[in-house]
Every structure is written in C-alpha cells, then in structure tokens.
Structure 1
Amino acid sequence: MPRLQLLASTLLALPLLGAVTPAPEAPYKPTYTESGALKTPTRYREWVYLTSGMDMNYAARAANAPPPDHSMFDNVFVNPESYRTFVATGAWPDGTVFALENRGAVTNVSINKGGQTQGESVMGLEMHVKDKGQWAFYVAQADGTAKPFPKTASCTTCHEAHAAVDTTFVQFYPMLLPIAREKKTLSAKYLQESATPPPTDSGKTPLYKTK
C-alpha cells in the first residue's frame, strides 16, 4: 500500500480507537429512604407508555352534581423490565413501578381550535409499586420522595376490588389486556364485572388489531 494511502487509512481509524460505547442503563429498582418513603423515579417519562385517560372517575356522578371546572389527563408509564416480563407472562414481577402523571387539559394552543391537549405543568404524580410481593401506592412530594398511601386508602381498596390483573387496571391498557386474556391471568373479579361486552371504538373499522 502506498505511504500516503496508508497514512490516510490510519488517520481515519484514529477516532474509532478512542470511542467509548455507553454502558446500558441499569434496570430500575424501587429504592426508599430510611423513613420508608419511595425515592421518586426521575426518568419515568423514558419508560414504556401504556395509556392516557381523561377525567376518569370510578364513582357515579350524582344527577344534580355540578360539572367539573377543569379537565385532567392521566398518563401511565411502567418500567421497561416489568413491561417485558408482562408481555412474556401476563403477570407483573417484583420491582414493577407504575407512574401516573396528571396534567391539566388546555384549549386554544397554537393552531388547535377544538378539543383539548395536555398542559406543560405536571399537576400530580403517583406511583404504584410491587415490592416483595406486596403492592403499595405513593404520591410524589416536592422533596423528591413519594409518601405512601395508607393501606385503607380508597385507591388501594378500589384496585384490590376491580383490577384486571393482580391489583393493576390492565383493563385500561389496550396493548396489555389482550396479552392477559391470552395468558389467562385476568382476575375472577374482573371477568365477572366484564361479562357485558365493552363498547366498540366509535363504530370505526380498526386499521389493524393487536394481539
């Protein structure tokens, strides 16, 4: 090989010699303070997105109750390792952490003239954690920790009574409900409550069906 060509090849290869492949991020595991508060995950928005709900309410509204003065979106994320386990088994492993993010609904943003989109500010953040076989709920605080809900809190008792899988509302996660159905991990309580077929998606023909 001519000297000039050899020198050019060497120079082109030099940047590769110093290149460092970033190490993969370690799997997320819930960690706690000495007082038992959950350390709030800071990168939950990089987790697997499951669904969004708007103005969801599990209690029937009284006929004479005034309409709400604002609307809220709920965005649900779960740590990737637990998501992959659920896809394979239809069940949630220890270390599962859901993050439920609340954002206000806003109108007249940019070119949008109808409907609502999500506001920039996070109005609330809750976690649902499975650790050592037990599920618990936490609400995020300003100091970077999340305070546990009492075991008698309505969120806990509601999930225990109506959840589709374990104590999780998989019935609201359209990509995961078919998996739980296929793996036969749906709870008896949910199957009893869902004996009536769910409503169709606005009567439209789906583009494709998920498994």
Structure 2
Amino acid sequence: MAWFSPARRLTAAMPLLCLLLTPATGSAATDSPAPFVPQFDKDDRLTFPADYRDWVYVTTGIDMAYGPAMRMGHSMFDNVFVNREAYLAFKQTGTWPEKTTFVLEVRGAADKGSINKSGHFQTPEVMGLEVHVKDTARFHDDGWGFYSFDAGEAAPPPAEQLPVEQSCYSCHRDHGAVDTTFVQFYPTLRPIAEAKKTLSAAYLAEKP
C-alpha cells in the first residue's frame, strides 16, 4: 500500500473538496421553483395559474353562502389554494404581501361511490374557478382584483377582471378578517392573525 505524504494527501483531496464546495448548478438538489408572480397579457387579462394545485392548500368549505341561502338541489365543495410565497409571508406577518394569489376551485359533492356509505366526497370534475389577486398598483380600490375562469376548459384562456361593482368586492371588504380576505374560515391561519393582531376592525365588530 502506498502512503501519501501530508502535502500529497492534501493535493489529492483538493478535487473532492472542490466538488463538495462548488454549488451544483442545475441539479435537482439546489433548484427551486421561481417565485410565483401573476401574469397579465397585453389586454390586461389575467393568465390562469395552471399549477395552483402545487400551492398551499388553505381550506375547504361545503355549501357555504354569504348571502341568502341558495337551493341548488346538490352540494358543492370550495377548495382554496394560495401561492407558497404569500403563505410563508403570512406566517411571519399575519397579512398578505403584494402579488398574493388565491384560487377557489369548486367541485361537486357525491354520496354514492366505491365503499362510501354516508357523507360526501368530491367529484373529479371542476365546476368553477375563481382567482383573487393582490396588486395595489393595479387595483386602486382596495388593492385586490377578482377573476372568473371557464372551468370547462383544460387550459382556461386569460380572463378580464370582474367589475368592481360586483358584490364579491364589497362582501370581502366589509367582512374579510384580514386584508379583505376570509381568513376567519382558514383554520390554520386565523390563529396567526389573532396572535399578530391583524384581524380587521370590521370582522372583530361582527365576531360572535
């Protein structure tokens, strides 16, 4: 067996050290997705964030209605997702940063299928898609814009902002727990807002 002198051992080890210390550019271990930024086309229409199901899941509601109860004859699930950067910022501050984007995904509720004997489960078909974006430079009323997309499309085309006269704006503004959003219905985020004291005065006034 050949023994290296200390100097030769150090020299022999240098290539290995270089491999260990050099950033692995392009490798799966170091690559991370670019931060999400909502995209708008030349006509100021919002591009649908197709990868929203890779975001942070916030909550699910079933048959929720903020106005008079509607008799639809069937149940619906509302699934809410938010981009990861906004979620992490909320955990730190208790409020939403610029470019926060929510997706509301509506699915039908079924009760008969496989081994299910009671209760409801979600169906594969997406029946509604709505997006809520924070951009105070773009939306001058309260800093947020609403968009509705065609859920029947595999790749929904860009959508125009819903008119600010629609009730979704005033409802969120008057009743949203944090920054016009319904954090009161997000079970893992409401305690953060309570601890950070970022709950809105409007919500606290009507809180049971």
Q: TM-score range by the shorter chain?
A: 0.7 to 0.9
TM-fit CA distance, 1:70: 1.1
The offset of 1:96, in angstroms, is 0.1
Partner of 1:157: 170
1:101 aligns with 2:110: no
What is the deviation of 1:68?
2.5
Q: Does the CA-based 8 Å contact 1:140-1:147 persist in structure 2?
A: no
Percent identity for Structure 1 against Structure 2: 51
**Contact 1:171–1:177, Cα closer than 8 Å, also in 2:** yes
Q: Structure 1, residues 42-95: CA drift from partner, whole Å, max 9, x if none?
A: 11001000000001011233xxx8x42111100000000000000000010001
Aligned positions of 1:81-92 closer than 5 A: 81-92=85-96
CA separation in 2, counterparts of 1:19 and 1:155?
Answer: 45
* Structure 2 residue 176 is the aligned partner of structure 1 residue 172: no
Task: Say whether the 8 Å CA contact 1:29–1:95 is kept in structure 2.
Answer: yes
Aligned length: 177
TM (normalized to structure 1)?
A: 0.79
- Which structure 1 residue ranges, 4+ long, deviate > 3 Å from structure 2? none
The reply on whether 1:70 has 2:74 as its aligned counterpart is: yes
Report the Cα offset of residue 146 of structure 1: 2.6
The 3-state SS of whatever aligns with 1:146 is: coil
Report SS of the residue matched to 1:181: helix
Q: Take 1:73 and 1:152, find their aligned partners in 2: how far apart are those partners?
A: 26
Structure 2's unaligned 5+ residue stretches are: 3-18, 138-142
- Give, in whole Å, the separation in 2 of the partners of 1:89 and 1:178: 12
Q: Which amino acid aligns with 1:113?
A: K
| Structure 1 residues not aligned, in runs of 5+ | 3-15, 197-211
Determine the C-alpha separation between the residues in 1 that align with 2:79 and 2:160: 20
